[in-house]
Structure 1
């Protein structure tokens, strides 16, 4: 029953949320992309924090005059990021997003294969909307959609 109601999400009100999915693991990235697309989301993927920041126009906060930056910013309704990634963790990405005046209101969801309470609390205190354990399931996406609709 949940699956059929989730498919009505975009058709009932015409809203198709755009989610940026960030994960260094290709399999995990594809899984998240598939689950979100099954729930009528538009999905953009990034393989690391730097790629995500580049897409969002946050690589250089001092240089905010690009039209591309503001158009990407306004298009993204949610960001889902893995916690453990080389170069920049999901936590570091979260902090950069929440420091951005243009993106601080965009919900950020952290996913991890490790259930570490201290890590979870740290992410939630920094402004993460939710912390979910991998692997994500369709029921998790239903929860995410509820967050987006609020």
Structure 2
């Protein structure tokens, strides 16, 4: 019962607008992901690195004082680049999965490098999906399935 208009009725009539945290050190990639997700009626927050993402999620160094903010910024899905300076997407994934308050949130890893051992390592650590860049609208349609399952 999906409508072609961008109204909030359509496929998300019964759920809040899914909130996706997109993490990538490349501004161009962040803008692309944001546009693709916005086309699917998602609310998108972007972060340029793993530390910023953890801070937003309330899992930063002073996370005790930020845990109360987590409900304000409820995220339905995290999509992160694998190769980033400071903290890789894999390390971000591990920190999210180690958190009692965030471990149920699906994490999708993306990379421009197709390295099977890396892909398997991320999936074994709990990644929902591993996607190859550059991302396309068809990739986002696969994500919609996960969003609908975790936000209903």
Shared fold, TM over 0.5 = yes
Query: How far apart in 1 are the matches of 2:78 and 2:63?
Result: 22
Query: How far apart in 1 are the matches of 2:146 and 2:6?
Result: 13
Query: How far apart in 2 are the matches of 1:143 and 1:95?
Result: 23
Seen in structure 2, the aligned counterparts of structure 1 residues 51 and 62 have a Cα distance that, compared at 3 Å, is: closer
Seen in structure 2, the aligned counterparts of structure 1 residues 97 and 61 have a Cα distance that, compared at 3 Å, is: farther
Query: Counterpart in 1 of 2:46?
Result: 45
Query: How far apart in 1 are the matches of 2:117 and 2:139?
Result: 22
Report if the CA contact (8 A) 2:59-2:66 is conserved: no
CA RMSD of aligned residues (A): 2.2
Figure out how many residues of one structure are paired with residues of the other and give that number. Answer: 146
Query: Runs of 5+ in structure 2 lacking a partner?
Result: none
Scaled by the length of structure 1, the TM-score of the pair is: 0.89
Query: How far apart in 2 are the matches of 1:84 and 1:3?
Result: 37
Scaled by the length of structure 2, the TM-score of the pair is: 0.88
Query: How far apart in 1 are the matches of 2:72 and 2:94?
Result: 21
Q: When you count helix as a share of all residues, which structure comes out higher? A: 1
